[in-house]
Amino acid sequence: MRFLLPFFVFTIILISFAAASGENLHLAAPQILSGVTGDMTTPGYWIAKHPAPDALIMNERQIAAFNQNSIKQGLIEDFREPPEIMPGNKISALLQAIGDDFKKHTYYNSKSETVDPAFITGFDRESAAISEKVAVRYGYIVRNTDQRLLPTADALYLQPGDFDFDQNQNSRLAIGEPVLVLARSRDHDWLFVKGRISQGWVRTDAVATMSRDFFLSRANTKRTLVVLSARADLFGDRKLTQHLTSVRMGSLLAFKQVHPDAWEVEIPTRNTDGTVAFSPAFLAKTDANTGFLPFTPRTIFRQAFRLLDAPYGWGDANEAQDCSRFIQMVYACVGITLPRNSSEQGKTANAIPGFTQDTPDNTKQALILEHATGGATLFLLPGHIMLYLGYSAGQPYVIHATWAYRDKTETGEDRVRLVAKVTISDLSLGTGSAKGSLLQRLSSARNLK
């Protein structure tokens, strides 16, 4: 599975344009976007419009086959049969490719100063230090932690002052996520880990390791709890008063037992020698479910709307989510494991034939109306993904995590309208701007089935 820099290109274009256009052309978007009415902001509105909201899109067997196909394509990792040894040259090539991609740009630090290129090239020594054969280690994430593309907490910005868009931020891993440890930085402060859907550097003290046999026994257990809330709080006591941390929608927790007022789970902790231990934690009954939800349009709509107005976060920064993480979280609730990258998410789904970016707008609308099912995914080039809701008043509507869109000022200039959250819009959003509307820029529509 590749690293995730291409996933962020869409937002890079928006921010680069904003910087070039001048601060006077920035304006906050309305809380409810044009074309959206208040009754559209509940899942029930779209459930009522769907012809079969409770029909199964895929059953458990079909979902398992869907995930297995993603594994075969190398889009996600299979932790039921993790490797014991990996060729060092493959890991070195991956680290080198990440570094080479960073070398293509000029970056700015948190003081808006130009970053010395030697800072980037210095990380080449990490890939050079990989041995010929790497014995894989197995671990769990013990606290919510950022996953970085380079083994440093230093931020790298494409434009001075773009402090919400750290290019070194790859993703964020949640407590309890299993990982394969593939490399350690020369200063021993960072580990290069591969999770189910992403890979990158995390702090060494954020990982607790274990034997392969123990890792496999945990990976193959069916005693799991699926988090359904946008963010669920974990507590250290049954009365839910001693707050520990929170976990995002779609997270899987090791289920221990049920109490009248709470679920009891096990979360990993780290011994002083770096090995894993487990501690009890508790969460509200309404925040989770024993097992996955049925994969129906109703489920997808209800889970998506639990995230409505949740803040946008580049690479999951500040416990938020971007466009592809939003999609990944929603589908995780029904047992579908999607890749982290929006372009790779597109490889898992069935494309609607005859749909390209150059397809006339009226034909695109007709294809969506005829073939897209509720919960289909719509893609913009070079990298934005949206969840299709359905038609209303002759317009297709979506829910998506987005940073901004563009419209025209009274003098005819493009203006960036900041959204920075999960929102509902129709596909006319952006009409009249230099880049065009969402519909004009739509490159494909895909059904997950």
CA distances from 299 to 47, 243, 255 (A): 9, 29, 22
Nearest Cα to 378, choosing from 368, 392, 393? Answer: 368
The tens digit of pLDDT for each residue in 388-434 reads: 999 998 999 999 999 999 988 888 888 999 999 999 999 999 999 98
Contact 147, 198 (CB under 8 A): yes
**Would you mind telling me the total number of residues written for the chain in this entry?**
449
The two three-digit tokens of residue 64, written as one number: 């398992």
In this prediction, residue 146 carries a pLDDT of 97
Residue carrying structure tokens 């880990």: 193
The two three-digit tokens of residue 169, written as one number: 């931020």
- Integer Cα distance of 157 and 162 in angstroms: 6
CATH of 76-216, one of 2.60.40.420, 2.30.30.40, 3.30.70.3270, 3.40.50.720: 2.30.30.40
- Integer Cα distance of 214 and 38 in angstroms: 50
Contact 399, 305 (CB under 8 A): yes
The tens digit of pLDDT for each residue in 35-69 reads: 999 999 999 999 999 999 999 999 999 999 999 99
Q: Assess if CATH 2.30.30.40 describes domain 224-290.
A: yes
- Integer Cα distance of 285 and 295 in angstroms: 21
317 backbone φψ class: left, alpha, beta (φ>0; ψ -120 to 50): beta
- Per domain, the residue ranges of the chain are 5-58+295-447, 76-216, 224-290
**Whether the predicted pLDDT of 15 surpasses 90:** no
Domains 76-216 and 224-290 share a fold: yes
Q: Say what the pTM is.
A: 0.92
3 state SS of 58: strand
- Integer Cα distance of 248 and 176 in angstroms: 11
- Integer Cα distance of 311 and 52 in angstroms: 31
CATH class of 5-58+295-447: alpha beta
Q: Is the model more confident about 8 or about 188? A: 188
Sign of the four-CA dihedral 317, 108, 7, 309: positive
Find all residues with CB under 8 Å of 401, minimum gap 6, and list them: 307, 310, 312, 321, 322, 323, 325, 326, 421, 422, 423
The tens digit of pLDDT for each residue in 210-236 reads: 999 999 998 877 789 999 999 999 999
